[in-house]
Amino acid sequence: MFFSDTTTRRIDARGSIPALCIRCGRGASHAAVHTLLTALLLLTPFRSTSGQVTDPSPPTGRPAASPGDSANLEQLVAHAVAVNPRIRAAAARADAARRRIAPAGARPDPMLMAGIQNFPITEPGFDDFMTMKMVGVGQSIPYPGKRSLRTQAAEREHAAALAEISGARLEVAETVEQAYYDLAYLDRALEITERNQRLLVDFMRVSEARYGVGTGGQEDVLRVRVEAARLGEDAVMLTEQRRATLAALNAALDRPSETPVDNPAIPLRIARAAIADSVKDIRFVSAALGARVANSPLPALETLQAMAERQNPMLRSDAAIIDAQAARVELARKEHLPDFDVALSYGQRDGFSDMVTATVSVPIALQKGRKQDQLVAEARAELGALEADRHERTNTLRADVARLHAELERDRGQLALYVRAILPQGRAALTTATAGYPVGRTDFLSLLDTQATLFTYETTYFRVLSDFARALAELERIVGEEIVR
């Protein structure tokens, strides 16, 4: 091992420390500090034998992933869809809507009539020829077309309820996926934090040792302690955030909040969509500042918007509800047309011949302008409101698709820059600072700042990757299907 080609000398084969430090000429205790510091900086987990920083990511820049990661997530989503109360509630409402179809188009129940007709008060009895015991049946017959319109409205309401089940399933799947991706990020962030804290503990020993032999200042000791405390604060925040995220995931899975989820990771299909397998394959569409990454796996924006308008469950529900209201408008237009009440009765008289009575009753629409016409206007106004709501939801959906498409391309651009430039340059800066510190070209605080900056870069990389996965989950929920395979 060498301290430096120009300012230090080789430790002998037995590993003994020279009596005097060549760098500053001080005693053996000071030389021991230099030896400890150099060994620490050259063997720190941040460096590999090639001079590259080791984890947080493989050489390709993508996080390690396997088909098993996707299978684990798919199992969680399938479990959530099977047990989530929101989906069960939507299914129950759809079942209720289905059971309203048959009654909506059924005829009114017949009326059974029984009684006494023309019973005398002053001389009670059945001797009068007008007095009779009567029994009869009546039936209301709706005007032709009304029953079919009521059935049509109920059927479209059922179709809307079925679409809401699909929407609930997609929303639950999105909730599970986003919480899972957050857990994947938090686990990697905690790994990076713990690794950096271990390094800072070693830095603290070095700074205290240098301060003890008079070659370092007290501000070095204080600064590294502050950085270690700050990382401790980050670890507390990340740990509690993970507990909250795990509770949200388990709530969607309808199980206890602290049920563990093992080894969450971004699925391979998403990782490949976010960043190319090889750094050599990363290209931008132009050299202009802010240019997008080439070879996007995402469909064109117009294609995604058309897919969303065609497949989004909420839009399909809105369309079914509009159809149901259109049937109600047509039904309201027929309300002034009379329903028929038909009745047949039999009267029995003591000592006289029995009698049969048949009647047909028809309502007269004397208040058509105040009643039926207003009901038609109300139904049309409600139809117009529903159509406007659907138009507004469509515009919002198109804007959401455009926003998410831009966010995904932005995240792809950020990840490409991190893999091609930011992380390699941050690692190179740390390598340079590490090599320069023992020979006096880098002061301790600059070394510490470089290490902290790389820590931020590493954590941000995984945050952006998680954001990409979350945005993709939201977009696939809006579109109604997987758009990256």
Q: Domain for residue 16, yes or no?
A: no
**Span 9-18, average pLDDT:** 34
Contact yes or no for 107/139 (Cβ under 8 A): yes
Three-state SS at 27: coil
Report the distance separating Cα 297 and Cα 409, nearest Å: 10
> Under 8 Å CB-to-CB from 247, ≥6 apart: which residues?
257, 258
Report the distance separating Cα 452 and Cα 52, nearest Å: 17
pLDDT-derived band at 70 (thresholds 50, 70, 90) equals low
pTM listed for this prediction = 0.79
Q: Domain for residue 246, yes or no?
A: yes
Report the distance separating Cα 74 and Cα 71, nearest Å: 5
* pLDDT the model gives residue 175: 96
Give the residue carrying structure tokens 């000071």: 30
Q: Which of 53-57, 104-108, 307-311, 435-439 shows the lowest per-residue confidence on average (mean pLDDT)?
A: 53-57
Q: Domain for residue 38, yes or no?
A: no
Of these ranges, 30-44, 143-157, 271-285, the one predicted with the greatest mean pLDDT is 143-157
* pLDDT the model gives residue 200: 78
250-289 tens-digit pLDDT: 999 999 999 999 889 999 999 999 998 888 888 888 888 8
* pLDDT the model gives residue 433: 85
- C-alpha neighbours within 13 Å on the C-beta side of residue 281: 13
* pLDDT the model gives residue 45: 42
CA dist 290 to 247, 381, 411, 417, Å? 38, 48, 12, 11
Contact yes or no for 160/326 (Cβ under 8 A): no
The per-residue b/e assignment along 436-463, b for 16 or more CB within 10 angstroms, e otherwise, is bbbeeebebeebbebbeebbebbbebbb
Report the distance separating Cα 68 and Cα 275, nearest Å: 19
Report the distance separating Cα 390 and Cα 317, nearest Å: 10
To the nearest 5 percent, what fractions of the chain are helix, strand and coil?
A: 60, 5, 30
* pLDDT the model gives residue 16: 35
Domain with 50 in it = 44-479
277-324 tens-digit pLDDT: 888 888 888 888 888 999 899 999 999 999 999 999 999 999 999 999
CA-closest candidate to residue 455, choices 223, 258, 190, 246: 190
**Span 30-52, average pLDDT:** 41
Three-state SS at 378: helix
* pLDDT the model gives residue 222: 80
Residues forming beta bridges with residue 340, ordered by sequence position: 141
Give me the CATH number covering residue 354.
Answer: 1.20.1600.10
Amino acid making up residue 416:
A
69 versus 48: the higher-pLDDT residue is: 69
32 versus 186: the higher-pLDDT residue is: 186
366-399 tens-digit pLDDT: 888 888 999 999 999 999 999 999 999 999 999 9
**Span 240-259, average pLDDT:** 95
Q: Domain for residue 7, yes or no?
A: no
pLDDT-derived band at 69 (thresholds 50, 70, 90) equals low
CA-closest candidate to residue 480, choices 303, 276, 232, 311: 311
CA-closest candidate to residue 338, choices 377, 367, 373, 365: 365
> What mean pLDDT is reported for the chain?
83
If one counts the domains in the chain, the total is 1
431-465 tens-digit pLDDT: 888 788 767 777 878 888 888 899 999 999 999 99
Q: Domain for residue 363, yes or no?
A: yes
Q: Domain for residue 26, yes or no?
A: no
Q: Is the pLDDT of residue 10 over 80?
A: no
* pLDDT the model gives residue 216: 64
> Under 8 Å CB-to-CB from 285, ≥6 apart: which residues?
291, 292, 293, 294
Edge-to-edge, what's the strand order for the sheet holding 132-141? 111-117, 132-141, 340-348, 355-361
Q: Domain for residue 17, yes or no?
A: no
Q: Specify whether the backbone of 157 is left (phi greater than 0), alpha (psi in -120 to 50) or beta.
A: alpha
Supply the Cα-derived Rg of the chain in whole angstroms. Answer: 39
Residue 417 CB neighbours (<10 A):
15
Amino acid making up residue 450:
T
pLDDT-derived band at 196 (thresholds 50, 70, 90) equals confident
Q: Is the pLDDT of residue 15 over 70?
A: no
Q: Domain for residue 14, yes or no?
A: no
CA-closest candidate to residue 321, choices 399, 385, 378, 374: 385
Percentage with pLDDT > 70 across the chain: 84
156-168 tens-digit pLDDT: 999 999 999 999 9
336-363 tens-digit pLDDT: 899 999 999 999 888 888 899 999 999 8
Contact yes or no for 416/359 (Cβ under 8 A): no
Q: How many residues does the chain have?
A: 485
